[in-house]
Amino acid sequence: MAALILILGDQLTDTLSVLTNADKKNDCVLMAEVREEATYVKHHKKKIAFLFSAMRHFSQALSDNGYQVEYITYDDKANQGSLLQQLKHRLAGGEFDCVKVTMPGEYRLYKSMQQWEHQLGVKVDIHSDDRFLATPEFFSSWAKGRKQYRMEFFYREMRKKHGILMEGQTPIGGKWNYDAQNRDPMPATENVPKRTTFAPDDITKAVLELVNREFSEHFGDVTPFHFAVTRQQARQVLHHFIEDRLPKFGQYQDAMVEGKPWLYHSHIAFYLNCGLLTPKECIVAAEQAYHAGSAPLNSVEGFIRQILGWREFVRGFYWYFMPALKTDNYFNHSRSLPAFFWDGQTNMNCMRQCIKETKANAYAHHIQRLMVLGNFSLLTGLSPEEVQTWYLLVYADAYEWVELPNVAGMILYSDGGNLASKPYVASGSYINKMSDYCKNCGYQVSKKTGEKACPFNYLYWNFIDSNAEKLSNNPRMAMIYKTYARLKRENIEAMTASAQAFLSKLDNNEEV
């Protein structure tokens, strides 16, 4: 008998064990654009278009490589609407005695898969996802018995384990981390190389038409569409990043510039997270650039840390702390997401720029996500559930395993500090330092209170004041609370009044 091999939309890698061990003559690969996965949150139109096009191209590549592939498009009459029902439909003919699938990136789907054997009446073999460099079991072993779960220490173990940027047991350059060199604002005169783009082919054009027709109520713009949708194209994106932007990536990775969303970033998370690129090849490419003398250590180490450190860490963290991570709410925040998160209609220019770029591109870089959008979400006490849903649906590289730890742990601190050592909050001065947003804002970053003051200024101190009981004993907040203790009571009261007035506007859905 033969196996029915299910490939998910974020598993577009031909070296998966379910594929490399397949019997090409007898096994059948099943791929499907099912409604349940496309709509359980209203994913960004461009995200759906990217994944559907990449899936169709990948299925074609598998067919060209001799695999038997059955591909079910979204509007196919045979589409059953869910993965489980699609499998039931395909198994009805009795051709297959087992189902093979790679472990998914979402807890809800993994729990569902664990019931499939009983529901389908055939053996279901869930293979581990061997594209990652750390298994969930490795993370659990590392985490067991620890009082704190810090990425930096996990990252060092990964560097040693895989021999990346190492001289024996010592890090190249003598330091593990060069982040102190990676915080420069970008000069207005900086000429950033263009990102790598691709014109839609016939397959992508058909997908764009489908998305416009079937997902018209979803967030975001579907065109212009320039994503890579094949492995060959994704490798071009990686190559051009290593050649053109990696040398200055480190220095400017935290910078934000109005009207320039892409900057020196790699733009490969789309392709890493859906499988068109593998983490190892990206790490090796960067390390080779360092040894060739074409990129400095601070850039190469910073880039590798994002993949070997942060990406692997949050994946392990996700499986270690689920399902509680999804419902944690350390600050008991419950404010509804403001309407301007969907249309960008706000006088706060930093928020306006980040939201409009997200709407246009299904992308924003990590500082925009953390220190603008995330900072605002935490300072205003937005509901963790609503914020998590927003981040999951608006970004084309977002899957729950990577989105949830970043949002719940890093952005909202809703897990109470398991992931981050302190809440990542800041006043307007940080945004002013790292961007040019403030010069075109409806508020004044120099003002601390009043209608014209930058909301981040008074919201920041209101947050510090409101959460002193929970945060004042945090060692990394000690300096902040010493500064807070020196503030005059009338200044605290003025900032509290400004914050309450602003939050009242949010609650009443008034323009801010």
Q: Has residue 273 been placed in a domain?
A: yes
The bridge status of strand 96-102 relative to strand 123-127 is: parallel
Residue 164 shares a structural domain with residue 312 = yes
**What is the mean pLDDT for each group of 10 consecutive residues in the chain (512 residues)?**
95 96 96 94 97 98 97 96 96 94 97 97 96 96 93 96 95 94 92 96 98 97 97 98 97 96 97 98 98 97 97 98 97 97 97 98 97 98 98 98 98 97 96 97 96 97 96 94 93 95 96 94
Residue 66 shares a structural domain with residue 8 = yes
List, for residues 457-471, the tens digit of each pLDDT value: 999 999 999 999 999
Q: How far is CA 396 from the centre of its chain?
A: 8
pTM: 0.96
Q: Has residue 182 been placed in a domain?
A: yes
Whichever domain contains 350, its CATH number is: 1.10.579.10
Residue 52: its H or E element: helix 45-64
If one counts every other C-beta atom within 10 angstroms of the C-beta of residue 384, the result is: 28
Residue 375 shares a structural domain with residue 448 = yes
Residues 7 and 30: beta-carbon distance below 8 Å: yes
Q: Has residue 208 been placed in a domain?
A: no
List, for residues 143-174, the tens digit of each pLDDT value: 999 989 999 999 999 999 999 999 999 999 99
pLDDT of residue 373: 98
Residue 309 shares a structural domain with residue 383 = no
pLDDT of residue 1: 78
Whichever domain contains 13, its CATH number is: 3.40.50.620
Q: Has residue 236 been placed in a domain?
A: yes
Residue 280 shares a structural domain with residue 315 = yes
Residue 93 shares a structural domain with residue 24 = yes
Residues 9 and 16: beta-carbon distance below 8 Å: no
Q: 231: which 2 tokens?
A: 């492995």
Residue 157 shares a structural domain with residue 113 = no
Q: Has residue 223 been placed in a domain?
A: no
pLDDT of residue 209: 98
Residue 380 shares a structural domain with residue 468 = yes
Quote the mean pLDDT of the chain.
96
Whichever domain contains 281, its CATH number is: 1.25.40.80
Domain that holds residue 183: 136-201+229-321
In angstroms, rounded to a whole number, what is the distance separating the alpha carbons of residues 365 and 256? 9
Residue 156 shares a structural domain with residue 105 = no
Q: Has residue 333 been placed in a domain?
A: no
List, for residues 237-276, the tens digit of each pLDDT value: 999 999 999 999 999 999 999 999 999 999 999 999 999 9
Give how far Cα 429 sits from Cα of 319, 365, 376, 460, 478, Å: 36, 19, 14, 11, 19
Number of domains in the chain: 3
Q: Has residue 348 been placed in a domain?
A: yes
Residue 359 shares a structural domain with residue 489 = yes
Which domain-ending residue is among 82, 100, 127?
Answer: 127
Which domain-ending residue is among 101, 127, 153?
Answer: 127
Residue 117 shares a structural domain with residue 170 = no
Residue 245 shares a structural domain with residue 148 = yes
